[in-house]
């Protein structure tokens, strides 16, 4: 029987249904059967199939550039006060966006990045500011802790682990990671211990500062994508840090002494000029911090030169602590109210209770972080008992209840012992 001249002898496809139809002596074969036969032969012979060339990914692009006022307005919804710090961070982030979009011109003007360092007491919101920025950014964002970093060869993490977190935040897209933002917390914990040479190495102090220089300045760093020393067999990924913005933060406990020494004043004691003494109280000294004070504290000049923008965070007073309790979108009282709403209970706070919590937090001098500890001490019994009780649809925290629970807590007992 003679085959139709326009039909594949193997699959029966007609000529109009295929792209190519090759003829032999007594048979025809289409392009689909040729490809299938080639794959079967390769599999039979044990030849590895050639991988198809991946289509090039679209280059990383920033969709929208929020203006500095828009960034600050967004942070105002979550962070109370600290207007100066929010302005500095808003401008730094906005300039970082614009810097990534700068076009090559003939004027030889190149915009350099302005890394930022924040100085503020514990509980004033340094890390919270950084995390709030992460909610509005269109670039990868990572938070790293400087306290766990040591020199290469010692127990701890290498500085490259900072970029490993950024690479993971970018979903291992190197091009996106090279345009990200990194927040390094507790930068004051790697301060140089003293200016005197010692026979012991400062493996978590000045040595780490020296290792951070190449990251802050801008260089190509080989980064282990899965983290440093636990996977020594992994292939390193080169990342160029030239376009990565670094924001550093630290409490710098005791830096007021260096500021007062520079200003030729004393943080405590008497002064001839009463107006000057009031201006230079310890709570106001941080506003006058500069790079010279941080150098005296223990940061090396090379590191400070790569952190040109410096800002300080104000200590939190009672008025600010009260607003932190109730006004932000993620306020503590709103968090507890949501927890009780999930149990079908409406939670109410008397105004005297809020004042009592603020007074205790101000007395312990733990900042906004202390508010959560005091609230937990007051709310623990209620959160333990009420979910198991039926018929309760409303619960009010009164001043007497709050005082009773707090004075029975280990938090208060520790104060009495001290």
Please give the mean pLDDT across all residues of the chain.
81
pLDDT given for residue 412 in this prediction: 65
pLDDT given for residue 117 in this prediction: 94
pLDDT given for residue 47 in this prediction: 61
Helix (H, G, I), strand (E, B) or coil at 297: helix
Length of the chain: 418
Q: Nearest-CA neighbor of 121 among 336, 304, 344, 364?
A: 364
Say which residue, 64 or 208, is predicted with more confidence.
208
Q: What is the pLDDT of residues 174-195, one digit of tens each?
A: 988 888 889 999 899 888 766 5
Q: Which residues contact 328 (CB under 8 A, 6 or more apart)?
A: 77, 78, 79, 80
Res. 320: pLDDT tops 70: yes
Helix (H, G, I), strand (E, B) or coil at 388: helix
- Interval 137-162 mean pLDDT: 80
**Residue 123: what are its φ and ψ, rounded to 5°?**
85, 10
Model confidence band, residue 56 (pLDDT cutoffs 50, 70, 90): very low
pTM exceeds cut of 0.75: no
Q: What is the CATH number of domain 68-252+289-312?
A: 3.40.50.300
CATH class of the structural domain 318-417: mainly alpha
Model confidence band, residue 267 (pLDDT cutoffs 50, 70, 90): low
Res. 275: pLDDT tops 90: no
pLDDT given for residue 383 in this prediction: 93
Q: What is the pLDDT of residues 214-253, one digit of tens each?
A: 888 888 888 887 765 555 666 888 899 988 999 999 989 8
DSSP letter for each residue of 315-376: PP-HHHHHHHHHSSTT-HHHHHHHHHHTTT-EEEE-HHHHHHHHHHHHHHT-HHHHHHHHHH
């Amino acid at each position: 029987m003679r085959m139709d001249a326009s039909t594949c002898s193997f699959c029966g496809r007609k000529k109009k249904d295929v792209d190519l139809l090759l003829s032999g002596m007594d048979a025809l074969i289409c392009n689909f059967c040729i490809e299938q036969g080639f794959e079967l032969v390769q599999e039979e012979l044990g030849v590895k199939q050639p991988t198809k060339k991946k289509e090039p990914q679209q280059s990383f692009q920033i969709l929208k550039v929020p203006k500095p006022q828009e960034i600050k307005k967004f942070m105002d919804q979550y962070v109370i006060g600290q207007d100066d710090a929010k302005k500095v961070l808003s401008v730094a982030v906005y300039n970082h966006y614009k810097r990534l979009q700068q076009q090559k011109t003939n004027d030889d003007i190149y915009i350099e990045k302005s890394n930022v360092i924040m100085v503020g007491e514990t509980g004033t919101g340094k890390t919270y500011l950084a995390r709030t920025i992460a909610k509005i950014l269109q670039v990868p964002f990572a938070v790293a802790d400087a306290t766990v970093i040591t020199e290469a060869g010692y127990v701890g993490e290498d500085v490259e682990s900072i970029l490993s977190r950024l690479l993971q935040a970018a979903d291992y897209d190197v091009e996106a990671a090279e345009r990200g933002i990194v927040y390094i917390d507790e930068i004051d914990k790697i301060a140089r211990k003293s200016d005197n040479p010692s026979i012991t190495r400062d493996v978590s102090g000045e040595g780490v500062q020296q290792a951070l220089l190449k990251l802050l300045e801008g260089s190509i760093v080989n980064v282990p994508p899965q983290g440093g020393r636990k996977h020594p067999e992994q292939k390193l990924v080169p990342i160029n840090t030239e376009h990565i913005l670094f924001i550093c933060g630290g409490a710098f406990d005791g830096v007021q002494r260096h500021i007062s020494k520079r200003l030729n004043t004393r943080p405590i004691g008497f002064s001839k000029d009463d107006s000057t003494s009031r201006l230079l109280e310890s709570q106001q000294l941080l506003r006058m911090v500069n790079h010279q004070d941080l150098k005296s504290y223990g940061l090396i000049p090379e590191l400070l030169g790569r952190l040109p923008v410096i800002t300080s965070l104000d200590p939190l007073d009672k008025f600010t602590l009260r607003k932190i309790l109730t006004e932000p979108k993620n306020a503590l009282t709103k968090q507890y109210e949501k927890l009780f709403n999930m149990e079908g209970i409406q939670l109410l706070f008397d105004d005297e209770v809020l004042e009592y919590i603020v007074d205790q937090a101000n007395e312990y001098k733990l900042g906004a972080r202390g508010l959560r500890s005091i609230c937990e001490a007051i709310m623990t019994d209620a959160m333990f008992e009420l979910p198991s009780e039926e018929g309760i649809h409303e619960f009010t925290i009164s001043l007497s209840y709050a005082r009773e629970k707090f004075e029975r807590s280990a938090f208060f007992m520790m104060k009495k012992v001290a």
